[in-house]
Amino acid sequence: MAYTLNLLEQMANGLAKQFGPDCEIVIHDLKRHDLDHSVVHINNGHVTNRKEGDGPSKVVFETLHKDPALLKDHVGYLTRTSNGKILKSSTFFIRNEEGTAVDYIFSINYDITGLMTIDRSIHALIDTEPESGTRQQPEQIVHNVNDLLDSLIEQSVALVGKPAALMNKEEKVTAIQFLNDAGAFLITKSGDKVSKYFGISKFTLYSYIDVNSRKSS
């Protein structure tokens, strides 16, 4: 297994050089008896202010309580640091030779905060406003209700103008009002997906919908 860790460290060093100082690579060792110090390798730790010897993240604890056979790599999701940086993250589970346990977690966290600012500036420059005063955006063509729900969620986030992780209560209410008006909650199990995406409980989701319903009545 030492060879496995050496190989992971080689990959981490190469990826960090390839993508530069905004790309953090973290390796957690789940075989260690002392999980309070699960980080055994890190590149560009300034992204999340972590260092070798630091403790486990939430994903480490989640991994320890799940059947390794059911774990799937999680690629291209958004995370947020305590000081507000937005990261595009990917998590890879490195199993033992028998596939019966996860020995290492290999994580990539790319700081996209600056890119998001540039993206908003570019959109402000190229966006159009017709005579009616309504800004036009290309409408996505979808093939099923799941794609439709994803598209509506993206539109609700664009309406607020910031990632869900950075929204306050009022902004989340605005986004959910848009989804409700668009009929998103007519889609089966949409409540589960929306509440998870915005980081709220289903009870809170329904209370936000109820608040909006009272305002419109």
**Residue labelled with tokens 């699960």:** 38
Average pLDDT, the chain: 84
End-to-end CA gap in the chain: 64
- Rounded to the nearest 5 percent, the helix, strand and coil shares of the chain are 50, 20, 30
In the 3-class helix/strand/coil scheme, how is 1-18 assigned residue by residue? CHHHHHHHHHHHHHHHHH
Nearest to 5 by CA among 28, 36, 38, 23: 28
Which tens digit of pLDDT belongs to each residue from 139-154?
554 456 787 788 889 8
- Evaluate whether 29 touches 9 at the Cβ level (below 8 Å): no
Alpha helices in the chain (DSSP H): 2-19, 58-64, 113-126, 145-160, 169-181, 190-197, 202-216
Nearest to 102 by CA among 117, 86, 91: 91
Say if residue 131's pLDDT is above 80.
no
Residue 169 C-alpha from the chain's centroid: 19
Nearest to 165 by CA among 215, 212, 112: 112
pTM of the complete model? 0.56
DSSP designation for 128: B
Per domain, the residue ranges of the chain are 2-114, 135-216
Which CATH superfamily does the domain covering 2-114 fall into?
PAS domain (3.30.450.20)
Which tens digit of pLDDT belongs to each residue from 33-68?
777 788 999 999 999 989 998 887 777 777 877 888
Q: Band the pLDDT of 138: cuts 50, 70, 90.
A: very low
Cβ neighbours for 164, distance < 8 A, ≥ 6 positions apart: 157, 172, 175, 197, 198, 199
DSSP designation for 157: H
What pLDDT is stored for residue 130 in this prediction?
55
- The pair of three-digit structure tokens given for residue 170, joined into one six-digit string: 């009022």
Nearest to 110 by CA among 7, 8, 16: 16
Which tens digit of pLDDT belongs to each residue from 158-200?
899 989 889 999 999 999 999 988 888 888 889 999 999 999 9
- Evaluate whether 34 touches 55 at the Cβ level (below 8 Å): no
Taking the CA atoms of 179, 184, 185 and 186 in sequence, report the sign of the dihedral they define.
positive
